[in-house]
Structure 1
């Protein structure tokens, strides 16, 4: 099947609120992004993804949109946005906008008018009568509590899979789908090249709302009954005619559905995210717990998805985003081996098939925030968890230890540009506290150091663009049962790429597989300076990683 999406692209995710402030209000803005475009070009990325910058009450950091057609004054003006698109295009970079179409803010005019049962907007949302027990069903919001909220004027409950201020849209109502198409066309006319579609596999709800005796209700709406039909419709009418790149965020999805969402025929989406690999440090499926990562499971998840999507569908591959803790703190070691382990994690990911996504600061090895007091947190999910734990009698110190490891705010601290006051992000105190290690960990220091994490990211991005085997080769885990070593093989035509990494702080003995005479090997990249041109048996040092390319003689 024709490979329509170029596998050599790399996406950089910007969380605008924390990227660069130019107005001295402690909040990042669009002009700040424009000022940093040369840095992103230097890094080598192709697409810039902006998390939501629309008007919003900011209950969920902009994922509660009250106006799809404007820029929130917090971030600047529409003229600023148009300039950003133009300046990015001049540097051969594309702009990806975040689109939240599962729900709107309850302050959106659609919802305000929908609270009148006689309004034409009433069917835009999902309303249910009270049951004999009160709530329509026992479904649980992903932010905790019931997924149903009473609305006095209508005398009904509305569905909110996230916060009560984020009311779910009714995609079964054709005018909703048309309104969404109109929004996409508006931003495409502004020069936007791509859309990231937030939790888009949750848009289709069942025709009948029932209790979930054994769960929280997600089985009824995850990859819902008409989700493929609706994505094919919007793709046919908007995405394909306008040549838009799309990536779907898929919550609790399955491989089988993703093979269809991101199939190479491009009938639905260009590519998809899944999050199964980011649950390997959940104790019995509970995010709010302290547990070491299960590296065997991590390898198994990647193998399953790499093999299952190969030559069938396009994946977005990533370690972090605005909803995840920092990867070097999570799967590496963020003190003595921060640089080495951050490079190792990059080398594991960038050797795989799929489109890599970098979350701002990942490329310099930014770490978890190190917050010690609940007053330092801003994230609604984190604050809800803390309150819930307090109500259950869980000690505050225990909850704070969990938040220090798992909170979404770990990734939302300001970008660390230099070692000046406020890290070059702003000239005033930012909306959320800086990580105090910014004086050591920052972009200026990384650029100046030829052995920095940043320069490894630049090299890996270049290698991905240079070698088709990285873009198109198959995937085989050569040591699937080894708890400390990740060793996989990529194969394409007459070439083999061997990627090996030690996942621990201990030295681990390793014997390379035999693909032929050693003289046929070429070392492409390593995170230790003494690695040989050919892989040899012996110890892998702490977090050591290497890429070797083997070419078969004709």
Structure 2
């Protein structure tokens, strides 16, 4: 597999820097903290680290509102720390992937401040419009709830913000904006990063600014969702910059179909390497994540199969900084915590595609245990809570929505040890630590041969050495009553994966010799225990 790109062979691990490891006691994770944990990550077996934004930012959206693309936020350290991280990771055969947020900047960015004042060449770096007859320019909705136009007294016009009002959208009809982003990419690629995770990349180009067809949420999205202009911009970035550095890209792409995803990643088009699709993450809701729906394993499995068949290569993930913890969402974080965490590990590491893990997933971290809104810090959750209040939704329903889907579920600090603040910081953490850290922490699992962490290490090592799991074909074999079975086949080896996401015993639909078992079985059982997972080799 010498000609296979590295990102088709390796496991990628996402770090949310604020919550990973704090080296100086200020309660915020930082780059030296990440450096101090590189040996842990090497032992885990991952081949690349995706860092959520570490750029200077007012942190209105925890770093996704960038005020300087070519520097490091003082909370996280210095540019020297970043260079050290890149170099030390390389010594351990680990690459660094930066989070590139180019749909919008912070309203504190120099470009926006000069655009407000009509200082060239920044006058048209953003999307400005005059309102008509006292009304806002369009009826578009906002990803965080509410509308997406904010009036600026200094300029005397409204600016577009599809996210928080402190995150004005850039204008990709402007050639200078594209050139500026190419310079940002070159800056980091020259420093040695391997590529970029591209935030909400399929909404960067607005074809037209006019009223959209009313929707319960995101009215106006027909004018910016995966537009022809978006494809043109991505192709240009690829040709001008990315291809010259052989850079890896993974696009966060909202509301995409398999056809739309293929248009973004088809090598013949020269746009992105891979994308994050979200359809499988929407199987427990009605399109919008706050419209809750009972989780159905079979519906979830059907969606995974759909994407496995539709694209030649997928990204495979169950968690990130915006999603709830998978063991709380798809597993059972009480009665079958370890079993279901291992079953989900088996799923994410054996489907065809590049696996992405999120910090703490490898030890089975769970959703937050906050009793009410007082400890919630996520701007999206706060907005939804307030909007629900305005709509007179019952307080209990609002809290169930937040508790189930808040982004803070993923953002509680990493649980390293059974000591104050889970060993994340010696100070006061920026977000409260989950109270279950004495039971769930990396140190406790380090030398336990049956722990979730040990299982992840063993399974990643197996995948790293398996051409069948890295590159084999995918065939669904069985999907019923919470049980999923599929075959990975390459050359003369065939592996069958069986996963139950049921809390009840179920018939085992597959035969073969046991290679992996989350119940430590030596023989293939006729019936599956709750949340059982098996990897079988045909004999």
The bucket for the TM-score relative to the shorter chain is over 0.9
Q: How many residues align?
A: 535
Alignment partner, residue 517 of structure 1: none
Alignment partner, residue 514 of structure 2: 523
Alignment partner, residue 324 of structure 2: 325
Post-superposition offset of 1:335? 1.0
Alignment partner, residue 372 of structure 1: 371
Write the distance in 1 (CA, Å) between the matches of 2:6 and 2:39: 25
Write the distance in 2 (CA, Å) between the matches of 1:104 and 1:277: 29
Alignment partner, residue 483 of structure 2: 485
Instruction: Classify the secondary structure of the residue corresponding to 1:131.
Output: coil
Alignment partner, residue 292 of structure 1: 294
Post-superposition offset of 1:49? 0.9
Write the distance in 2 (CA, Å) between the matches of 1:37 and 1:118: 44
Question: Which deviates more, 240-249 or 470-479?
Answer: 470-479
Is residue 57 of structure 1 aligned with residue 45 of structure 2? no
After superposition, the C-alpha distances for 1:152-197 in whole angstroms (9 at most, x for unaligned) are 2322221111111111111111110110010111111222122111
After superposition, the C-alpha distances for 1:243-275 in whole angstroms (9 at most, x for unaligned) are 211111111112112213222458212211111
Alignment partner, residue 336 of structure 1: 335
Alignment partner, residue 508 of structure 2: 510
Write the distance in 1 (CA, Å) between the matches of 2:327 and 2:256: 26
- Quick check: 1:307–1:474 contact (8 Å CA) kept in 2? no
Post-superposition offset of 1:288? 2.0
Write the distance in 2 (CA, Å) between the matches of 1:248 and 1:269: 7
- Quick check: 2:208–2:223 contact (8 Å CA) kept in 1? no
In the alignment, which of 217, 222, 227 is matched to residue 224 of structure 1?
227
Write the distance in 1 (CA, Å) between the matches of 2:454 and 2:531: 17
Write the distance in 2 (CA, Å) between the matches of 1:472 and 1:360: 25
Write the distance in 1 (CA, Å) between the matches of 2:77 and 2:68: 15
Post-superposition offset of 1:229? 1.4
Write the distance in 2 (CA, Å) between the matches of 1:49 and 1:20: 15
TM-score (norm 1): 0.93
Write the distance in 2 (CA, Å) between the matches of 1:153 and 1:5: 49
Change (3 A) 1:212 1:173: same
- Quick check: 2:235–2:269 contact (8 Å CA) kept in 1? no
Instruction: Classify the secondary structure of the residue corresponding to 1:122.
Output: coil
Alignment partner, residue 283 of structure 2: 280
Write the distance in 2 (CA, Å) between the matches of 1:367 and 1:473: 32
Two-structure CA RMSD over aligned residues (Å): 1.7
Residue segments in structure 1 that go unaligned for 5+ positions in a row: 514-520
Is residue 24 of structure 1 aligned with residue 39 of structure 2? no
1:244-393 superposed matches below 5 A: 244-265=247-268, 267-282=270-285, 284-310=286-312, 314-393=313-392
Instruction: Classify the secondary structure of the residue corresponding to 2:475.
Output: strand
Post-superposition offset of 1:278? 0.7
- Quick check: 2:209–2:223 contact (8 Å CA) kept in 1? no
Alignment partner, residue 237 of structure 1: 240
Alignment partner, residue 539 of structure 1: 527
Write the distance in 1 (CA, Å) between the matches of 2:317 and 2:205: 26
Post-superposition offset of 1:397? 3.1
Change (3 A) 1:511 1:225: closer
Instruction: Classify the secondary structure of the residue corresponding to 1:167.
Output: coil
Write the distance in 1 (CA, Å) between the matches of 2:368 and 2:28: 17
Instruction: Classify the secondary structure of the residue corresponding to 1:400.
Output: helix
Write the distance in 2 (CA, Å) between the matches of 1:266 and 1:356: 24
Question: Which deviates more, 203-212 or 36-45?
Answer: 203-212
- Quick check: 2:263–2:269 contact (8 Å CA) kept in 1? no
Change (3 A) 1:526 1:403: same
1:132-143 superposed matches below 5 A: 132=133, 134-143=135-144
Write the distance in 2 (CA, Å) between the matches of 1:85 and 1:55: 18
Is residue 175 of structure 1 aligned with residue 163 of structure 2? no
Change (3 A) 1:266 1:365: farther
Write the distance in 1 (CA, Å) between the matches of 2:7 and 2:394: 50
Instruction: Classify the secondary structure of the residue corresponding to 1:306.
Output: helix
Write the distance in 1 (CA, Å) between the matches of 2:163 and 2:171: 15
Post-superposition offset of 1:285? 2.7
- Quick check: 1:10–1:357 contact (8 Å CA) kept in 2? yes
Instruction: Classify the secondary structure of the residue corresponding to 2:416.
Output: coil
Change (3 A) 1:381 1:6: closer
Post-superposition offset of 1:3? 5.1
- Quick check: 1:205–1:225 contact (8 Å CA) kept in 2? no
Is residue 94 of structure 1 aligned with residue 95 of structure 2? yes
Is residue 396 of structure 1 aligned with residue 395 of structure 2? yes
Instruction: Classify the secondary structure of the residue corresponding to 2:193.
Output: coil
Question: Which deviates more, 465-474 or 498-507?
Answer: 465-474
TM-score (norm 2): 0.96
